[in-house]
Amino acid sequence: MANTQQSSSHGKLTAVIAVAAVVIVLALLSAFIWPGWALNKTTTPTSAPTSSSTSNGKKSAAAKAPSTPTISAKPLPTDATSLLKAMPDSVVNYARTDANPSANWTSASPLEEYTMTYSTGDDTKNIALITAQWSSADDAKKQYQALTASLTGDEIASGNVKVSGKTTGSYVIRKDASDSKKAVAVWINDTAVFQANGPSDAVTTFCQKFPL
């Protein structure tokens, strides 16, 4: 009789273990089959998209660009002005490969103006950047308004430029009306105005990541 009871208990224990094993297996399977059940929501995907504000207030996703350039920036001349020295060596994966005085906006009488090239090493993807500074924010604003008024391509993004939480200017990015694969970004920050031309996606990221 004792042997019969032990055998019965052993059988029940085996059944319980078997059921528990099945439950564990099903739980593990559901973790990978049921959407989101076992995801670590604090992990950022390596291909996480970035977003920008568009004219209608919606967000448009863009593929994340490399964060550092693969080429070195060209050193600035020893007599570089404060404005030129303020220009970053790199912006995301673009490095400054050229910087020279220019006269594109002479009619607007800036104090100084420079044209720079930012590159990834692939000349077909270069971004041309023009920057100039005026003695007053009002004069800079007039040039900004003239430049943005001349842009006729579809708007990609626009918004405010902020420094330490304070709005110091604004920006507009539009498709290049003469080449749909390119874009033009114009922005103003206090007394300085900037204009970037190049591949559409690259210009959008470049403008929004530019530190000035």
Domain ranges of the chain: 1-43, 50-209
Residues 6 or more apart whose Cβ sits within 8 Å of residue 195 = 129, 130, 131, 147, 184, 185, 186
How far is the C-alpha of 98 from the C-alpha of 116, rounded, in Å? 5
Q: For 50-209, CATH number? A: 3.40.1000
pLDDT score for 65: 57
For residue 129, what is the enclosing H or E element?
A: strand 127-133
pLDDT score for 95: 99
Residues of the chain with pLDDT under 70: 1-65
Condensed to tens digits (0 to 9), the pLDDT of residues 53-65 reads 444 333 344 456 5
pLDDT score for 64: 64
How far is the C-alpha of 93 from the C-alpha of 120, rounded, in Å? 6
pLDDT score for 83: 97
Rg from Cα positions in the chain: 29
Euclidean distance between the first and the last CA atom of the chain, given in angstroms as a whole number? 90
User: Do you know the residue count of the chain?
Assistant: 212
Q: Where are the beta strands (DSSP E) in 12-111?
A: 50-53, 59-62, 90-91, 94-101
pLDDT score for 11: 53
How far is the C-alpha of 83 from the C-alpha of 78, rounded, in Å? 13
Q: Which two tokens stand for residue 159?
A: 């918004």
Q: Which two tokens stand for residue 134?
A: 């005026």
How far is the C-alpha of 70 from the C-alpha of 209, rounded, in Å? 17
pLDDT score for 14: 53
What is the four-CA torsion angle of 159, 164, 168, 173, rounded to 10 degrees?
A: -30
pLDDT score for 63: 53
